[in-house]
Amino acid sequence: MPGVAYTTDIRLSNWCLGDPDDPVSIGIVHGIETLLVTGDSFPDEGDLPACVHEDADPALSGTAWAPQP
């Protein structure tokens, strides 16, 4: 809905790749546009999750989007 802010909690796990250039950002691709997700740093510089299984891909998960009160 236009004009309404939404929130979700996002978690990144099993980071076995090299360190990315900081800052890391998240974008939502909608058609031909990319909407940057705003909020707190994701993750803090140098604070990527540990590599748990080298033969598995990194995982990104999140909670359902909810309108902010």
pTM for this prediction: 0.57
CA–CA gap between residue 49 and residue 13 (Å, rounded)? 5
3-51 pLDDT tens trace: 888 888 888 888 888 877 767 778 889 899 998 877 665 566 667 788 8
- Give the model's pLDDT for residue 37: 79
Among left, alpha and beta (phi > 0; psi -120 to 50; other), residue 46 is left
